[in-house]
């Protein structure tokens, strides 16, 4: 059977998204109807012109970013998805893709533009819900503490990261962070349920391990809660000890007064509801001295695509050591500045710092 001849020009122009074909010098070769409609120009006004000849009212910063992305694609031959851009009241997602010639040189650039305004509005609803469910920063047991939450930049959905600080009887507090798998309102809702449950059980459970056992049982009844990671600690100022337990979560960091950093990694079990059958969990205890700093965080702070986890942990330890004279609020800002990439993060980040 003879294969039908494909009219690729007709396919390109019928694409539902707004797309344009450019030379590596950013000159239009073609644009489909959706792209021309968004641009407000006719084909005759566009073809053969430079990409930015037709956007005299464009924001200068956006123009520079689009140019930089397209030039990067032309030079490297690798696709690039830009962070979301805002123009007026509308948000846009732009992806630039190389089209290679037979000798593997970049012959053309495919520039795809998609409006993301409605998705961003939905994300803002989820983010507001999530922030409303997180506790405000406050001193605990008369000890200064700082909290930070940073949503992913350029993502269309908020994630399920959370933190909590709970006053316990005596001179004790519980500090926890967690990360729900998934995105959007569903993840934010699961996050709220698990945070509230852990906050309640921490007040009556005999230690962090038992608190995570109970939370794990509860997670089995909550749709979307499976494989949630949690690290929880109990700080006791009478005994100068920290007792901790982790459900598959990155280890808390304990920075000593001399700048040395210990990662609390001796009590790690699988994430919540990850095991076929429910089981007991382990905990460990370490001493601390006045002036030490305890840091809990979610994986958005340390993990980077294609990078070993130990590299991120080393970055965190280095930052904690360099800023050991800082108060918790200053230290929190310094850590975020040191560890978060300047072009934004792809995963949410929660951070809690307590001076002991």
pLDDT in tens, 327-349: 999 999 999 999 987 766 667 88
Average pLDDT over residues 190-212: 91
> What is the rounded distance in angstroms from the CA atom of residue 214 to the CA atom of residue 207?
11
Of the spans 43-52, 132-141, 308-317, which averages the highest pLDDT?
A: 308-317
pLDDT of residue 90: 76
Average pLDDT over residues 104-132: 73
92 and 115 Cβ atoms separated by less than 8 Å: yes
Class of residue 76 by CB neighbours under 10 A (exposed 0-12, middle 13-18, buried 19+):
exposed
pLDDT of residue 137: 56
pLDDT of residue 124: 61
First to last CA, the chain: 77
For 156-184, the pLDDT digits (tens) are: 455 678 889 988 888 899 999 999 987 76
pLDDT of residue 134: 60
335 and 316 Cβ atoms separated by less than 8 Å: yes
Q: Tokens for 160? A: 């399920």
21 and 109 Cβ atoms separated by less than 8 Å: yes
pLDDT of residue 156: 46
pLDDT of residue 130: 54
pLDDT of residue 269: 93
Percent of the chain clearing pLDDT 90 (strictly above): 44
For 82-104, the pLDDT digits (tens) are: 877 777 677 778 889 999 988 88
pLDDT of residue 141: 56
Least confident of 20-24, 187-191, 278-282, 336-340: 187-191
pLDDT at 301 over 70: yes
């Amino acid at each position: 059977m003879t294969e039908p001849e494909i009219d690729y020009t007709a396919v390109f122009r019928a694409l539902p998204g707004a797309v344009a074909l450019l030379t590596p010098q950013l000159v239009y070769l073609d644009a489909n109807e959706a792209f021309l409609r968004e641009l407000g120009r006719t084909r005759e006004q566009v073809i053969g012109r430079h990409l930015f000849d037709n956007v005299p009212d464009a924001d200068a910063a956006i123009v520079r970013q689009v140019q930089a992305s397209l030039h990067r694609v032309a030079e490297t031959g690798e696709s690039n998805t830009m962070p979301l851009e805002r123009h007026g009241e509308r948000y846009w997602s732009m992806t630039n893709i190389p089209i290679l010639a037979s000798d593997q040189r970049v012959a053309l650039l495919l520039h795809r533009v998609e409006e993301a305004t409605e998705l961003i509005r939905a994300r803002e609803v989820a983010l507001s819900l999530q922030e409303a469910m997180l506790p405000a920063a406050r001193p605990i047991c008369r000890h200064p503490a700082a909290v930070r939450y940073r949503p992913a930049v350029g993502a269309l959905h908020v994630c399920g990261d959370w933190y909590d600080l709970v006053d316990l009887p005596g001179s004790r507090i519980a500090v926890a962070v967690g990360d729900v798998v998934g995105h959007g309102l569903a993840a934010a809702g699961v996050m709220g349920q698990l945070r509230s449950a852990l906050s309640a059980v921490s007040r009556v459970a005999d230690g962090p391990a038992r608190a995570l056992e109970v939370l794990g049982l509860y997670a089995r009844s909550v749709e979307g809660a499976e494989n949630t990671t949690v690290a929880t600690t109990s700080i006791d100022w009478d005994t100068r000890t920290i007792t901790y337990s982790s459900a598959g979560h990155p280890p808390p960091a304990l920075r000593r007064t001399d700048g040395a950093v210990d990662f609390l990694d001796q009590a790690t079990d699988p994430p919540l509801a990850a095991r076929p059958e429910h089981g007991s969990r382990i905990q460990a205890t370490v001493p601390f001295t006045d002036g030490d700093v305890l840091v809990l965080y979610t994986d958005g702070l340390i993990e980077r695509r294609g990078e070993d986890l130990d590299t991120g942990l080393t970055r965190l330890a280095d930052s904690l050591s360099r800023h050991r004279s800082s108060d918790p609020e200053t230290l929190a800002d310094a850590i975020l500045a040191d560890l978060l990439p300047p072009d934004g993060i792809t995963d949410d980040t929660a951070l809690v710092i307590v001076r002991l």
